[in-house]
Amino acid sequence: MGMEGSDRPEIQIVEDKKVEEREPGASRHGNFKNYYKFHPAEERVRQLPRGLWQLRKNERKYNALDVGCNAGNLTIELHKFLKEELSIDTDIQILGIDLDSNLIERARANTSDPSIHFECLDFFTEIRETAICSYLKELEREKFDVVFCFSITMWIHLNHGDEGLVKFLEEICQMTEMLVIEPQPWNCYRKASRRMRRGGEEDFPLINKLKLTGRMERHVEKIVCGEKCAFRQITTTQDNNWGRKILIFQRKQL
């Protein structure tokens, strides 16, 4: 009994370490400090299709928004990707936003490129709308050419409910010509909830009230391609290394 009892803490420590190596831990909003250790930015860029990214007629400028940019690793890689996809003389401007000020500080420290900008903004605040409108006005634009939303829909859904997810997608569609979304599948919701409870934190209050469950990519498609958003889906990628697809939509031409 004594030997068995003394072994158990060591076994538990090993098991906990294995879990930490597989999962980024508990988070209320998905603002993991070591996110790219688990989901490398380069893998996401490799997943993006080539040949879809086009300049507007008679334009040499291309403007992008990365929502939920974390520490900016992916934002920087997206800028490189767009530079390769368009042309070397294209003026590509990209704005990364995140609600975590510490992550934004890290993002700003990660690059000195003047065409890559980072702002600490919570999408569900009035200041976000003002800040983005001001940014677009400086670029003499009304909309972005593309908005990227990588693995953020679940956090919006868990914290703001079904109505919040719909509102987010509808407002994002109003500000862009193209939309790139990597929605988390439903099993990720359960994992996020379990990590919160295992870490001694309060569970997501809205998780058991959600009606939009199951095939999350279908719900996203229905909203974005619905009458209010009026986008069309142009492609869906294969799963990446962590089992997620990227959905790409474009505004319907009148």
Residue 15 included in any domain:
no
26-to-30, 57, 111 alpha-carbon distances in Å: 8, 46, 28
The number of distinct structural domains making up the chain is: 1
Residue 25 included in any domain:
no
CA dist 203 and 229 (Å) reads: 32
Residue 167 included in any domain:
yes
Give the structural domain span for 245.
39-46+61-251
Residue numbers in the chain where pLDDT is lower than 70: 1-24, 254
Residue 92 included in any domain:
yes
- The predicted structure's pLDDT at residue 24: 56
- Which residues fall within 8 angstroms of residue 213, CB to CB, at 6 or more apart? 186, 189
- What DSSP character marks residue 11? H
Q: Which residues of 151-186 are buried (b: 16+ CB within 10 A; e: fewer)?
A: bbbbbbbbbbbeebbbbbbeebbebbbbbbbbbbbb
Per-residue pLDDT of 2-60, as tens digits, reads 433 434 444 333 344 443 444 557 789 988 888 878 888 999 999 999 999 988 887 88
- The predicted structure's pLDDT at residue 37: 83
| Helix (H/G/I), strand (E/B), else coil: 250 | strand
CA dist 47 and 53 (Å) reads: 14
Rg (CA), the chain: 20
- The predicted structure's pLDDT at residue 36: 78
Residue 17 included in any domain:
no
- The predicted structure's pLDDT at residue 23: 53
Residue 28 included in any domain:
no
- The predicted structure's pLDDT at residue 59: 82
Q: Is the pTM of this model over 0.75?
A: yes
- The predicted structure's pLDDT at residue 10: 43
Residue 163 included in any domain:
yes
- The predicted structure's pLDDT at residue 100: 96
Residue 104 included in any domain:
yes
The CATH number assigned to the domain holding 179 equals 3.40.50.150
How does the average pLDDT of the chain come out, rounded?
A: 89
- Which residues fall within 8 angstroms of residue 243, CB to CB, at 6 or more apart? 185
Q: Residues for the chain: how many in total?
A: 254
